[in-house]
Amino acid sequence: MQIITAFWLILALTGCSDKKEAKEYKIGFSQCVGSDLWRKTMLDEMKTELSLRPGTKLSYADANNSSSKQIDQVKEMIDEGIDLLIISPNEALPLTKIVEDTYNKGIPVIVIDRKTSSALYTAYVGAENYQVGKIAGEYLANSLKGSGNVIEVMGLPGSSPAIERDKGFTDALKKHPQIKINGQFYGDWLGENTEIELLKNKDKLKNVDAIFAHNDVMATSTRKVLQKLGFSHQIQVIGVDALPGNGGGLNLVSNQTLTASVLYPTGGKEAINIAMRILNKESFSKENILQTVVIDSSNVQLMKLQWARINSQQSDIERQQTLLADQFKVYNSQRLVLNFIVITLVLAVVFGGLAFHALLENRKINKSLELKNTEILNQRNQLIEMSEKAQAATEAKLNFFTNISHEFRTPLTLILSPLEDLLKNEKIKLAAGSNLKLIYKNVYRLLRLVNQLMDYRKIEHKKFKLHATANNLIDFIKEILDSFKHSAEKRNIDLRLIVKESPGVVWFDVNILDKVIFNLLSNALKFTSDNGRIYISIGKMEGTVHIDVEDNGVGMTDTELKHIFDQFYQSELNYSRGSGLGLSLSKELILLHKGNISVTSKKWQGTTFTIALPLGEDHLTNNEKATQEHQSAKLYDQVKIYTTEHDQAVSNEKDRTFEHIKDQSILIIEDNQDLLDYLTHKFETTFEIFTASTGTNGLAEAYEKIPDLIITDVVVPGISGKNLTHQLKSDIRTSHIPIILLTAQGSIEQQVNGIQSMADVYITKPFNFEYLQANVENLIKNRVILKEHYSSDISSSGVKRTANNLIDKKFLNDFAGIVEHNLSNEHFSVDDISKAIGISRVQLYRKIKALLNCSITDYILNRRLKKAKYYLSNEEYSISEITYMVGISSPTYFSTIFKNKYGMTPTEYKKTRLQ
Q: Nearest Cα to 146, choosing from 185, 176, 188, 184?
A: 176
The nearest distance, CB 207 to ligand FRU, in angstroms, is: 28
- List, in order, residues 6 or more apart from 503 with CB less than 8 Å away: 473, 474, 538, 539, 540, 545, 615
**Least distance in angstroms from the C-beta of 52 to ligand FRU:** 25
Nearest partner of 83 among 57, 104, 62, judged by Cα: 57
Q: How far is the CB of 41 from ligand FRU (least distance, A)?
A: 10
Give the nearer residue to ligand FRU in terms of CB position, either 155 or 503.
155
- The residue number whose beta carbon is nearest to ligand FRU equals 215
State in angstroms the smallest separation of the CB of 273 from ligand FRU.
20
Q: How far is the CB of 156 from ligand FRU (least distance, A)?
A: 8
Nearest distance from C-beta of residue 132 to ligand FRU, angstroms: 8
CB of 112 to ligand FRU, least distance (A): 10
Q: Shortest gap between Cβ of 23 and ligand FRU (angstroms)? A: 32
Phi, psi angle pair for 147, to nearest 5°: -145, 150
Give 419-425 contacts, CB < 8 A, sequence gap 24+. Answer: 419/443
- Residue 168 C-beta: closest distance to ligand FRU, Å: 13
Q: At residue 398, what are phi and psi to the nearest 5 degrees? A: -65, -40
As a whole number of angstroms, the distance between CA 624 and CA 627 comes to 10
Helix axes 426-460, 582-592, angle to 10 degrees: 50
Cβ-based nearer residue to ligand FRU, 139 or 264:
264
Distance CA 789, CA 45 (A): 133
Distance CA 586, CA 566 (A): 11
Identify which of residues 185 and 575 has a Cβ nearer to ligand FRU in the complex.
185
Indicate the residue among 163 and 480 with the shorter CB distance to ligand FRU: 163
Element (H, E) at 754: helix 748-756
Residue (38 or 815) nearer to ligand FRU, CB = 38
| Cβ distance to ligand FRU smaller for residue 240 or 715 | 240
Burial label for 448, CB within 10 Å (0-12, 13-18, 19+), is buried
Least distance between ligand FRU and beta carbon 114 (Å) = 5
Residues that bind ligand FRU (CB under 6 A): 33, 36, 38-39, 113-114, 155, 161, 189, 215, 217, 240-241, 264
Q: Which is nearer to ligand FRU, 86 or 536 (CB)?
A: 86
Select 87 or 468, whichever has its Cβ closest to ligand FRU.
87
Distance (Å, rounded) from C-alpha 729 to C-alpha 726? 5
**Measured from the CB of residue 220, what is the shortest distance to ligand FRU in angstroms?**
11
Tell me whether residue 155 or residue 595 sits nearer to ligand FRU (CB atom): 155
Rounded to the nearest 5°, which phi and psi values hold at 111?
A: -90, 130
- The DSSP-derived string for 397-451 is HHHHHHHHHHHHHHHHHHHHHHHHHHHH-HHHHHHHHHHHHHHHHHHHHHHHHHH
* Other residues' Cβ atoms within 10 Å of the Cβ of residue 639: 17
Determine how β-strand 84-88 pairs with β-strand 109-112.
parallel
Q: Quick check: bond before 614 cis, omega within 30?
A: no
∠ at Cα 33 (27, 37), nearest 5°? 100
Distant-in-sequence, close-in-space partners of 399: CB < 8 Å, separation ≥ 6: none
CA nearest neighbour of 516 among 627, 600, 618, 591 = 591
For ligand FRU, give the closer residue by CB, 218 or 536.
218
- In this complex, which beta carbon is closest to ligand FRU, that of residue 132 or of residue 564? 132
